[in-house]
Chain A
């Protein structure tokens, strides 16, 4: 007779303890800071352009540019501008374009080993200020040389990021095609001497609880 009573008591107490706290502690475990390689998919991903995409696209463009005889096969190395001033983002991905152009310029500069000369037009104001100081006699003329003007460029990089989004209405599975085009323009003649393209498509679906 008392067995059932004890079981009832036990079940009741367990239910009360486990279910009736009424005060939940947000005890989601933290995560220690860790280095993540830039060329791999990190723990957090979205549909936009991420570090592994930037790594892969700049490596591909660099190889392609170095294999181009007009850009990298001349006895007199051409002067090239690679910056973000003519790189347009028409996509739905929020991205700092300098992440792409800076990486491309630096990687290419290291790998080209003198086969191309890079004009730092993005630092033109800084150069102008130093030239003015030299010419005004505030500082001496430096050790290399004097030129009439800053360097003019033979080629300039321009490009575009565009995208196409689609979504399955029922499941809210989303995909995004990202297409990044790079083109090198002859700044005297207006011809395109080299072009490259990088495309990738991503798909993701958020948890049902957030839809």
Chain B
């Protein structure tokens, strides 16, 4: 009898140590899995082939980084990087390159890939929204059509310019908030201008009527006006991921810029440009997206899985389970570890559900678009854009001079950007 007692005590101690080791393993997995869930997904960078490297090397310093990103970030960011490249090329006056980049962007925006693998993944619980191939939010898509339309306008191709602006308006029609649908005023103005210049006055009148509804104080282009000047100020709206788990997409106005007024000088005249479009307003009034519902579903699943996981793992620490385990020997210990295992599995599901919102955005966009139309005789075709802040102080360092380009119909166009 006296020999048996110490053995019993030893067996019981052995059970406790075994259970403790098992629970330690289980909590170790949970800790590792929880650790894995933090931070956004990192994506592979591709190395450039010799042809791509020679393209990057042939570009001016200000464009090198954009081209490098285009080639190294692959298909997932191709549209975003082409948006950046297209707009930067346009700002530097390289119209052919801008057209090439923006045409590819529009092909991607306008085409429907019904069985896109990346889109399927982004819908899945296990991949974050940023996994999808970037197509942009409606304001970004509208702006892609806006710039392509401007390039058509410069070529005097008013039909395709108007088609481009109409497509931009339709992208904006996806807004969930009804009062903000198709309220992209600058696109209505430009569609009207294109229609007017191709001789479809009835279409122009319809566009201008819509513009007047959106901007009652706008002065409509007169029949005599033959020059259109587009001026841009400020920096792009920003996308941020807010809320627990960064699942909520929010917009913030661009920062680190002062200018919000623009005017053009030609000869002795100076004309204030009309601020026709607030790009940040367009970005932030879009309303909910279909994908937000998908992300909400992921968040809900994550919360549920996390709750189940936490409850089951905490149950194993509960004194009555420990007491039961101690009283019943091996079977109780195994039950405790089993419950903990289910808990860990649920925690693993929760940890790997990635509801993080996609915050990639077109960073070279402006904050505001201003417009001027005027009658202009070809001759001294140079105009100077000047910019000022809310207080009316002129920001001389931002001033730029540019030539107006006239097409075969003697219709002129000039695009100026403060940045």
Contacts and interface: CB of A to CB of B under 8 A. Distances in A.
Contact of A211 (B18, B163, B290): B290
B167 A94 contact: yes
Contact of A89 (B106, B135, B159, B290): B159
A4 interface: yes
B341 A209 contact: no
A206 B122 CA distance: 14
Contacts of A16: 29, 32-33, 36
B29 A15 contact: yes
B114 A207 contact: yes
Interface string A27-60: 0100000000000000011111000000000000
A157 to B, nearest CB: 16
A193 interface: no
Interface stretch (B234-242, B329-337, B387-395): B329-337
A95 interface: yes
Interface stretch (B19-27, B84-92, B360-368): B19-27
B131 interface: yes
Interface stretch (A17-25, A74-82, A115-123, A135-143): A17-25
B61 interface: no
A92 B42 CA distance: 39
Nearest to B15: A1
A204 interface: yes
A210 interface: yes
Interface stretch (B63-71, B254-262, B343-351): B343-351
B48 interface: no
Nearest to A88: B159
A165 interface: yes
B203 interface: yes
A23 B42 contact: yes
Interface in A168-211: 172, 174, 204-211
Contacts of B340: 8
A12 interface: yes
B81 to A, nearest CB: 13
A206 B111 CA distance: 8
B245 interface: no
A205 to B, nearest CB: 7
B44 interface: yes
Contacts, number: 156
Contacts of A5: 18, 21-22, 25, 337
B110 A47 contact: yes
Contact of A20 (B32, B112, B330, B341): B32
Among B113, B203, B351: residue with most chain A CB under 10 A: B113
Contact of B112 (A19, A46, A92): A46
DSSP class of B's interface residues: helix, strand, loop or mixed?
helix
A209 B290 CA distance: 7
Contacts of A206: 112
Contact of A90 (B114, B119, B203, B345): B203
Contact of B106 (A8, A24, A28, A94): A94
Interface string A157-168: 000010001010
B96 interface: no
A84 to B, nearest CB: 10
A19 B33 contact: yes
Contacts of A25: 43-44
Among A91, A95, A208: residue with most chain B CB under 10 A: A208
Contact of B25 (A3, A8, A45): A8
Contacts of B334: 1, 3-4
Contacts of B294: 208-209
B246 interface: no
Nearest to A204: B112
A161 B163 CA distance: 11
Nearest to B330: A1
B291 A208 contact: yes
7 tightest Cβ-Cβ pairs between the two chains A and B: A89-B159, A12-B29, A20-B36, A92-B166, A211-B290, A26-B74, A207-B119
Interface of B: 15, 18, 21-22, 25-26, 28-29, 32-33, 36, 39, 41-44, 46, 74-76, 106-107, 110-114, 116-119, 122-123, 126, 129, 131-132, 135, 148, 159-160, 162-164, 166-167, 170, 173-174, 195, 198, 200, 203, 289-291, 294, 330, 333-334, 337-338, 340-341, 344-345, 348, 351-352
17 contacts: A1-B18, A5-B25, A11-B341, A12-B26, A12-B29, A19-B33, A19-B351, A89-B162, A89-B163, A92-B167, A93-B163, A94-B163, A172-B174, A206-B112, A208-B294, A209-B129, A211-B290
Given A5-B337, A12-B25, A93-B163, 6 more contacts: A1-B334, A19-B33, A19-B348, A47-B110, A91-B163, A94-B106
